[in-house]
């Protein structure tokens, strides 16, 4: 049976390190600050935002919340971002997505100063990641890389197969693995014979958003499986993109869902905010 890569435990360890570093900065009179902007009433977004605020509080990061009504105009949101870009108490700015229809998301993300782009979605930060000189790295893929490191996986020369090519997970994690000298195959909905691609992987990273679509039988014996997917089935049950039981029987190590990549995302947001404050 595969070893479980415990995201909760790794996240707790890193949050402990962040708490200690925040306390050290406090002795120099610096408190890292994160501005969290929520527009509208999306219930899932509200939950994420309150989790982020609580996580900040727990490690001693100052969090400044802006809860704007659903009818906020693009101009009003851009003005707020402009103000936050100049605010010296703020080292990271996070705009919770999705935004209401009247607001152009790309325009908003590009208005965030690249030096405060805690989510790492600004094209400047994407470009820096691609050339191998990252400043802010997007939180979920960054969390995946930390998990691989903590699990003792050396990617140099390994075959990594990433399934899913979104801008927030698949593409950035592929470039991060490339930077660690892996040979990377990036798969998507038009990929032919996905089973054969997955079967050649030493490391599989699944970010598809379809419950258990990656079959356990596809996994190479001894591979490492990182499942980013979070899919709700029925009322309460969450499953990943990988058939967990069957994959566990073949893999050397695997992340569970929940309790795998999930807890790492907010942890890396805290880490990014801390690093930004230290750079200042």
Catalytic residue of the set 6, 117, 119, 241:
119
Stretch that binds ligand NDP, among 73-81, 109-117, 145-153, 185-193 (CB under 6 A): 185-193
Crossing angle, helix 170-179 and helix 139-150, to 10 degrees? 40
Stretch that binds ligand NDP, among 71-79, 88-96, 167-175, 216-224 (CB under 6 A): 167-175
- 272 is an interface residue for ligand NDP by CB under 6 A: no
Q: Which of 188, 232, 278, 280 binds ligand NDP (CB under 6 A)?
A: 188
- 166 is an interface residue for ligand NDP by CB under 6 A: yes
Contacts 24+ apart (CB under 8 A), 276-279: 276/32, 276/91, 276/92, 276/115, 276/116, 276/118, 276/136, 277/25, 277/30, 277/31, 277/32, 277/33, 277/91, 278/21, 278/25, 279/115
- 164 is an interface residue for ligand NDP by CB under 6 A: yes
**CB 30 → ligand NDP: shortest distance, Å?**
28
Q: Cα–Cα distance between 16 and 273 in angstroms, integer? A: 15
Q: Cα–Cα distance between 15 and 234 in angstroms, integer? A: 32
- 190 is an interface residue for ligand NDP by CB under 6 A: yes
The site for ligand NDP (CB under 6 A) is made up of 140, 163-166, 168-170, 187-191, 194, 207-210, 213, 228-231, 261-262, 265
């Amino acid at each position: 049976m595969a070893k479980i890569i415990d995201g909760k435990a790794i996240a707790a360890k890193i949050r402990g390190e962040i708490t200690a570093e925040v306390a050290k900065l406090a002795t120099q009179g610096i408190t890292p600050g994160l501005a969290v902007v929520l527009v509208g009433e999306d219930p899932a977004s509200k939950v994420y935002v309150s989790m982020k605020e609580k996580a900040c509080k727990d490690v001693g990061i100052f969090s400044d919340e802006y809860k704007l009504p659903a009818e906020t105009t693009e101009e009003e949101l851009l003005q707020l971002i402009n103000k936050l870009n100049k605010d010296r108490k703020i080292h990271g700015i996070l705009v919770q997505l999705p935004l209401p229809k009247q607001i152009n998301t790309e325009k908003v993300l590009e208005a965030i100063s690249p030096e405060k782009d805690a989510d790492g979605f600004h094209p400047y930060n994407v470009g820096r990641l691609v050339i191998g000189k990252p400043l802010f790295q997007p939180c979920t893929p960054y969390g995946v890389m930390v998990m691989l490191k903590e699990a003792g996986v050396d990617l140099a020369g390994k075959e990594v197969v990433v399934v899913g090519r979104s801008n927030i997970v698949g593409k950035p994690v592929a470039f991060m693995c490339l930077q660690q000298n892996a040979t990377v195959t990036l798969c998507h909905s038009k990929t032919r014979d996905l089973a054969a691609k997955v079967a050649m992987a030493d490391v599989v990273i699944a970010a598809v958003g379809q419950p258990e679509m990656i079959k356990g039988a596809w996994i190479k014996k001894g591979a490492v499986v990182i499942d980013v997917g979070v899919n709700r089935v029925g009322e309460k049950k969450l499953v990943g993109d990988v058939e967990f039981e069957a994959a566990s029987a073949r893999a050397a190590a695997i992340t569970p869902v929940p309790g795998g990549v999930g807890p790492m995302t907010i942890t890396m947001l805290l880490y990014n905010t801390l690093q930004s404050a230290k750079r200042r």
